[in-house]
Structure 1
Amino acid sequence: MTVSFEKFLEKLQVPHSGKPLSVLRNPDLEPIPHANRVWGFWSFFAYWGLPNFSAAAISIGSALLSLGLNVKQSIGAIVVSNIVIALYTAMNSNPGFKYHIGYTLDQRMLFGIYGSSVGIIFRIGLSVVLYGYLSWMGGLCLNLVFSSWSKNYMNMKNTFPESVPMTTRDCVAFLIFQLIQMPLSFIHPRKINRAGVMFSFMTLFSIIGLLAYFVSKNGGPGPIYYQGVELTSSQRSWMWMLAMTIWYSGISPVMANQSDYSRYASNKVGMHSGIALGILFAGTFAPVAGMFCASASQGLYGEPLWLPTDMVLKFLEDGYTAKARCAAFFIGISFTGAQIVVNMTQNGYACGMDLAGIFPKYINIVRGTLFVQLISWVVQPWTFFNTSSAFLNSMTSFGIFTTPIMAINVVDYYVVRKTRIAVSDLFTMDPNGAFWFYHGFNLRAIFALTVGVALGLPGLVFSINTKLPVNAGMNNFFNGYTFFSVIVSGVLYYILTLIFPYKQRLGAVDTKDYFNAFSLEECEALGMEPYTPALEGEYIELEIGNVSSRKANAEGDVEQGKSEGSKSELEIREEIKE
């Protein structure tokens, strides 16, 4: 490699303000310092309330009712599913809260220093797809704002041919929505919490307004509410299971990378109570309100309106009055803001964090977020809403990939490691490190993940290609993978750890706070030496003897008259950083 090319690569490195930078480490990957952990009850309520208050969540009833369930049974499935989601989320929050590490380092803990790419790539793929999906939905919400300003915009002539599955108006709003999001890449994820709290209350009031308007104008909940059920007892049970999976699946990627945001928590009680309220209240109220609005709109217009964007455009078309325009503007701003915060926190920033884990020297959160913003249009999100694309049938598949990861994470953290982690081992490729496993890969976890994912794939194929003969057992596993994948992957992983027990530093914790991440109280509880400036450049190699062995070799070289022997310990450490 030429000197000029080395200098070019050095210029491409992420800004790191003198902090260590290596193939495993950059400032965005390090544990969050105590002073930066500022998320409390309302931040976590907003983080979980916003996706449940979003336009997509309100319309989930259309999918549940299409299974043959009625409104009451759909509500029951949502309530039970929310309880499961809250429990899964709480358990996945604690590694991030206690050790202040994100999803990326979680994956090193589970799958190994190199094997972590498996879980990270899963999450990157989902982030790109969902970022495009939510951006298109955000454009539809932004349409309400523009339509409240101009009737000509609302009635804009479509210049696209019929073969193109979108209108000119929707395309314009989508492009503008994408441009609005881009500057937010330069805002640190922890600082977007206040906007999240504001928009969570704005969308809550908007949903209450829509519910009151449609039910009041119709004089009751409408015909859908009174529909019966024609399923047999067995069919109803499996449809309940599938309904829970559909609701769970859309939120499962957020649950899997919960550590990305639980590491910002200022206190455990506030975090868990905010999560519980955001999931149990918002996650129940919004979809229930959506079903009542759709039922009332069917009574009013002869067809159900599931998306709040369709509801608002409908009453604008009925009467383009000052009152209607004012309501459309407020509702449009509320849902547009909600889509921005949800998309950035759960897909944009999340993808930036994941890419930083794969290319730490050259990608940080800002660069990774810009990447997903630029590439998300490739998934053509307009087809998700306007065509009968097979993707619509596979929306319930997201959890197939993330649920086994969550199950392995819970078993590994609570049962195998008993909540004890040596954080600095997550930044070393030394074979004696706790997370090196077999050449950097934890084959136990990878095998358990593969089995859990593989068992769900046949059901996914059946849902996409309805012409194939269905295997009842595989199809039922897919319908209920919310529970079955947890059991399969979690139990299998634990059995493998019993058969092939870990030998490297199991249960070890750091004796020093190398990252200035822990408060004095936390250091005392963990038996850890508090951070001092003298520890700034120190790596785990100092703990496990790697630097010591390097130094001993260097001293031996001095005796032999080699130039290496003139190197100081500081120089040796600098070599390791590189």
Structure 2
Amino acid sequence: MSTYQHSFPDGNIGTVTSVLSNTDVEIVRKNQEMEKEKLPQNAWQKFMRALEVPHEDKPLSALRNPDLEPILVEERTWGFWSFFAYWGLPNFAVATFSTGSALLALDLNIQQSIGSLVIANVLIAVFTILNSNPGVKYHIGYTLSQRMIFGIYGSYVGIIIRVGISVVFYGYQAWLGGLCINMVFDSFSQNYLHMKDTFPESVPMAKKDLIGFLCFQLIQMPFAFVRPSRVNIPSIVTCFMTLFSIIGMLAYLVQTNGGPGPLYYKEVMLSSSQRSWMWLYSMTIWYSGISPAVANQSDYSRFSSKTLSCYLGLFIGIVVPGTFVSLAGMLCASACKGLYGSAYWTPNEIVEEWLSNDYSSKARAAAFFIGISFTGSQVFLNLTQNGYACGMDLAGIFPRYIDVTRGTLFAQLISWVVQPWTFFNTSSSFLNAMSSFGIFVTPIMTLNIIEFYWIRKSNITLIDFFTLSKKGAYWYSAGFNWKSMSCLLIGVALGIPGLVYQSEPDLKANSAMMNYYYGYMFFIPLVTGVLYFGLTYAFPVHHEKMCQNDPLDFFNCFSDEELKKLGMLPFQADMCEYLEAQEPRYSKEKTVVNDGKKHDNIQECSNSN
């Protein structure tokens, strides 16, 4: 609280107690200076002004644009089925359907692979719920949470990691999407089905695959202009379409084969010790493939209308489809082994086999529906978990010039650079790619949970996310939190040797490093968490706003019920004039004394820019 001399409308001058501390007032003023629009003085400044993101009358600064602000009440429309679909998308998809190819390559059988997936999915669901709460409670995304963990400038490290993974995954999922759309094209034309390759053998893709990839990219691009919160309905529809396709494929293949096929009865020749580590590795492979979605869960949990609906939707969406689709993929591959002599791990391989054997109207109709279903799920999977995620993250680095739409277009345009077709050259390449992504984001998720729950006691200030003031709650040391950054580097570094050994089988592997890599889903959180606990205990943060909420709803983003729980005063539309005069504003609920007289008509303070 602060006291000020204030001239009241009746001409009296008295002492007023503000709901804002001196630190709050300085942060608000600093933010206003950053957000103040300056008239361009030359051609270059006019050009740069023209490049700024559309922001209507909302603030724009080096740390802020409308896509970074907490989500308003009227935009929080996601319920149970929306979150079920968000997590259904990566499960009702080609990658999950073909997961068995990686797991059975570890010399596990179908039963053991499914057992490891059930355990992994439950743990992933719990980890996701814990990681989503900055979005659920404060309606902020992954980008702002990085400022809480690493500092205002240090946040760029976590953001850049996520951007890099988004681009890689976008290309990877777009390539799978191209295979899906080829099923539709195959149902249209027998000539397309049997299209001859014209590329030299050194190019690891077919002409047909390239056409599908380019067409899929073109289909995705218009969705960059759709708000992320608006794709929940089509996501729900495509999830159920793909579910029906998977059920139909599974029923047909198992019935036609007369049973689940030879892979189902595969014997496990591993020793008990080897089997234990392969169980861990299979869980890690599965976790790694969806770990980026776990990391940026707050980007979508901030759209939740009710907390319980969010938790139930994501828990069921992770556990049930994640187990069923993987099992269906293994059983389909096993039945194909019995029927056709080869285990087909992707839907497009199965459809091509059907059409090659019998190009009938029945087979073509099945190919068309399966192709449309999987194509739809791939489109919205890639957008929600990679395209939009990249846009949100890039907005945190260049807020003046990049918003979600521009960032999504960026991911779409450069995703070809990662050459996703190389992921499918050999099973080992596929395995290594799938099992390495989590190394980089798992420490970030661990730090996020510890910082939010243990250090800040689930209470954070929002106005400090957008300030360069040294008194801000996330300034730390020159804008960097050296403790969390050290833990991130150590957590990642310990996983790198195992990745190198896995990628280069000719190298003599260190058994300890390999085992750490096999189980990094468990070991990285343990190492990173214990280290961060220790550093925070040895070097505690002393800040006057630690474990506190904002005194006011600066962003007009909370409901009356939320304001009551958080102990905040509400936003009012007519709050500008005092701050513009660089004076604090006060709560009308506060009683102030002026020469013995009480005044209750003082306005609340808020950054209403």
- TM-score tier by shorter-chain length is over 0.9
Superposition pairs for residues 14-93 of structure 1, below 5 Å? Answer: 14-93=53-132
Does residue 566 of structure 2 align to residue 534 of structure 1? Answer: no
Look up the match of 2:468: 429
Q: Which amino acid aligns with 2:129?
A: A
Distance in 2 separating the partners of 1:198 and 1:220? 31
Match of 1:525 among 552, 565, 571: 565
TM-score, normalised relative to structure 1: 0.92
Does residue 378 of structure 2 align to residue 378 of structure 1? Answer: no
Change (3 A) 1:535 1:172: farther
Superposition pairs for residues 149-160 of structure 1, below 5 Å? Answer: 149-160=188-199
Superposition pairs for residues 115-264 of structure 1, below 5 Å? Answer: 115-264=154-303
Distance in 1 separating the partners of 2:87 and 2:173? 16
Asked whether the 8 Å contact 1:144–1:328 carries over to 2, the reply is yes
1:188-216 alpha-carbon deviations (Å, 9 max, x no partner): 00000000000000010001001001100
1:317-358 alpha-carbon deviations (Å, 9 max, x no partner): 110111111111110000000000000000000000000000
Q: Which amino acid aligns with 2:546?
A: L
1:3-33 alpha-carbon deviations (Å, 9 max, x no partner): 2211111111111001110000000000000
Look up the match of 2:19: none
Q: Which amino acid aligns with 2:282?
A: A
Distance in 2 separating the partners of 1:175 and 1:190? 26
Superposition pairs for residues 462-481 of structure 1, below 5 Å? Answer: 462-481=501-520
Q: Which moved more, 1:340-349 or 1:387-396?
A: 387-396
1:114-137 alpha-carbon deviations (Å, 9 max, x no partner): 000010000000000000000010
Look up the match of 2:379: 340
Aligned-pair CA distance for 1:538: 9.8
Distance in 2 separating the partners of 1:308 and 1:267? 36
1:129-168 alpha-carbon deviations (Å, 9 max, x no partner): 0000000100000000111111111111222122211111
Match of 2:135 among 96, 116, 122: 96
Distance in 1 separating the partners of 2:264 and 2:572? 63
Task: Please state whether the residue corresponding to 2:444 is helix, strand or coil.
Answer: helix
Change (3 A) 1:172 1:264: same
Does residue 149 of structure 2 align to residue 113 of structure 1? Answer: no
Distance in 2 separating the partners of 1:443 and 1:547? 34
Look up the match of 2:406: 367
Look up the match of 1:560: none
Listed as ranges, the gaps of 5+ residues in structure 1 are 550-572
Asked whether the 8 Å contact 1:515–1:536 carries over to 2, the reply is no
Change (3 A) 1:216 1:7: same
Change (3 A) 1:52 1:112: same
Look up the match of 2:598: none
Task: Please state whether the residue corresponding to 2:131 is helix, strand or coil.
Answer: helix
Task: Please state whether the residue corresponding to 1:534 is helix, strand or coil.
Answer: coil
Q: Which amino acid aligns with 1:514?
A: F
Asked whether the 8 Å contact 1:165–1:387 carries over to 2, the reply is no
Between Structure 1 and Structure 2, which shows a larger proportion of helix residues? 1
Q: Which moved more, 1:18-27 or 1:312-321?
A: 312-321
Query: Of the two, which has the highest radius of gyration?
Result: 2
Look up the match of 1:562: none
Asked whether the 8 Å contact 2:102–2:427 carries over to 1, the reply is no
Computed over aligned residues only, the root mean square deviation of the Cα atoms, in angstroms, reads: 1.8
Distance in 2 separating the partners of 1:220 and 1:112? 57
Look up the match of 2:391: 352
Does residue 365 of structure 2 align to residue 309 of structure 1? Answer: no
TM-score, normalised relative to structure 2: 0.88
Q: Which amino acid aligns with 2:90?
A: P
Distance in 2 separating the partners of 1:86 and 1:100? 20
Match of 1:509 among 536, 549, 555: 549
Q: Which amino acid aligns with 2:551?
A: T
Asked whether the 8 Å contact 1:513–1:531 carries over to 2, the reply is yes
Distance in 1 separating the partners of 2:577 and 2:459? 23
Superposition pairs for residues 376-415 of structure 1, below 5 Å? Answer: 376-387=415-426, 390=429, 392-415=431-454
Aligned-pair CA distance for 1:547: 6.0
Q: How many residues align?
A: 547
Q: Which amino acid aligns with 2:392?
A: M
Asked whether the 8 Å contact 1:13–1:361 carries over to 2, the reply is yes
